[in-house]
Chains A and B, each alone.
Chain A
């Protein structure tokens, strides 16, 4: 028996689940997230393990984390490293300096240190200019003088040809020592120099906090008495990374929460293509599952005020969570955007407060029951008329229905999966009212979709580069992209027999005659234990 634990650290709750080899759920636990995060993780582990016997406990082989530690460090500008940014691309790129679009407080927090040197490549792999070893050496020396703690190296078209980044890394290591954390941009992001550079800067900035967080995760796992287990963190794209890899690339965990919840929803229902609605306290997040993976956003994503091109799930957030405030105006109902959040159990009408929330609406209509003696649904109908409650309820349904429709990729009806704690605001008997929807599913364990998503995460590899079809056939280009992505997946720990291509996209370069295409490819496989 080989068991796995999935853990999701959210804003309010930390969830844990235990899954067996056949992905059967053996135990679940939900505890409060603590200020220090780590003790919440310890509590969740202890709680989830208390439901299984000692044999099961001894059979646990892996723990997968989805955590907000790194996102918080960036948003709060806390414990960030002093970063030296080395951009390789002169004589190109000088028109926009590194960090030009970063918020000032972030630039101050990381030191604002950069150099641009000659080199980099064209889209077809030719050099823009000769790589300048001397200049890289000088830049590294000046970084040393300025007490840089971490270096980000970014070269033009490094996703096509990373050799200049790698040469520069060697020189930087010679001067700043083996222990200096170095981020190479081609490992971080795809085409789009500024966005990839920003992602690399964030990654370098996290290099101080990453080992601390990872040590804390290891300690929590050791403290509950789990030995002989491998630890993983989940990435934005729903795949796993080892702790060693996570220490180098912490930035890749930044949007794992929504990804895990969508993957968990797909797993719980067996739906490979459909819509997932994750109803939390403040918002409902609507995403699309395609081939079992979240559809990714094609536009730039901002994190903590920084524009990046990370592959994040394409999500639509609407103000329709469990704690969302409902405003009844003359003949109109408005939802949010404000939410009571955790104050729902003190300030909402059903709990004796004065504010009407979406949860009050469903309670007032008698379509849901909450097992809490302090919750008195009759208070709602004493204050708000049934007619108004119906109007509000219709507004909730309409809001979700419109959101589903906006996220659909075609006119065909699709299955919808409801997950997240706020899901009670829609009554089961009204599932059939959603237009353009083939069926609505709310699986057992829907509240644990996040942690389950972490537990079932696979291992992946990806590539994104431009191929010149004058030099090779389209088939060779596609095969080469799949080959590179597969090699990366195997290097990350995937079982080579289970690899499959989950995403293959050809993007032509517009306004450019000739035969250049950009191919994005993602390959995933099962974790080889």
Chain B
């Protein structure tokens, strides 16, 4: 499979569904990826199960504030430099690029880098969705270290981080990012093929492509894509309703808030509240929790199936909330310690989406 211009568009849309409201606007990333693919040709997408056990892989991602990136547009060579510096330090050659997440900007940056370096990209990622912090990847659950990690900016400043654990890697990389002007690019989680196979979330890039394609094709035929999406993602419709209130506040660089929905059609007379911190985290129906992170809670425009980011939520929107089961790796003890509701400050137990009764 190749990633060309159509796939870039589909991934942008698909990753917004998997991004569960976070990850920032993929627009800039998309233009970077389009530019790189137009100049260097399509990117080859390889199956993680088929990589060689002792080949070397690296995750490529942008870090920082989307508000900064839309103003200080990347040079396009920051992430390339990060990768080169990491190769130099480890004295190894990267055989393919690994995306860190499927969501917003970071669904596109690895494509741009792979095209520029004429490297393949692995059809997988470390989240299967979007999360805000470095250690929130399945690689972390398998004891793979985020470091040595290189953080670069457009000035060719490069910082090599070797941290005692992945939480420290997050803390140090975030501080470097602020100094670099609020946005930076990273090459992290250097690993070998056998580790990647074991620890990644496989085939998530093709899943994004399929999601994007489903929405695009339904749109062009005038169909509603939501039912097909739910089927494709083995998810379920949690709620159909209308947004009646959105509350936002900021804490330590994260936009927290809640959105309140009033039911329509089969959910008429009920209320759903979704708590978000950049990403949607908890859904409560009439006060009872019916979905929590790490399962995916995505808000779609009821009419068009277009995913709505947490910044885009407005009173009056007719929306359908869908729940998508997260990858099994997140449902382990360490997975839930890393990204479960308690990590985000909610004193609740995680209950897998499938075990909560249907809402009707």
Contact = CB atoms under 8 A, between A and B. Distances in A.
* Interaction A to B: yes
Interface of A: 89-97, 100-101, 120, 122-124, 126, 128-129, 156-157, 191-194, 298-300, 405-411, 466, 507-514, 516-518
B113 to A, nearest CB: 11
Contacts of A122: 72, 181-182
A100 B31 contact: yes
Given A100-B35, A410-B315, A510 B73 contact: no
A112 to B, nearest CB: 16
Contacts of A409: 314-316
B178 interface: yes
A193 B132 CA distance: 24
B233 interface: no
A509 B182 contact: yes
B255 interface: yes
In terms of DSSP, what is the predominant structure of the interface of chain A? loop
B354 interface: no
A169 to B, nearest CB: 20
A156 B65 CA distance: 15
B65 A299 contact: no
Nearest to A93: B73
Nearest to A512: B65
Contact of B66 (A95, A300, A511): A511
B221 interface: no
Counting from the closest, the 5 A-B pairs by CB-CB distance are A95-B76, A508-B250, A512-B65, A513-B253, A122-B181
Contacts of B311: 298
Interface string B158-180: 00000000000000001001100
B65 A510 contact: yes
Nearest to B76: A95
Nearest to A158: B71
B278 interface: yes
Contacts of A406: 316-318
B294 interface: no
B154 A92 contact: yes
Contacts of A129: 155
B65 A509 contact: yes
Interface string B102-139: 00000000001000000000000000000010000000
B74 A95 contact: yes
A513 B252 contact: yes
Interface in B270-320: 278, 311-312, 314-318
Given A410-B315, A512-B253, A96 B181 contact: no
B132 A511 contact: yes
B65 A120 contact: no
B155 A128 contact: yes
B121 to A, nearest CB: 18
Given A406-B317, A513-B253, A91 B24 contact: no
Contacts of B28: 96, 194
B359 interface: no
B74 A193 contact: no
B64 interface: yes
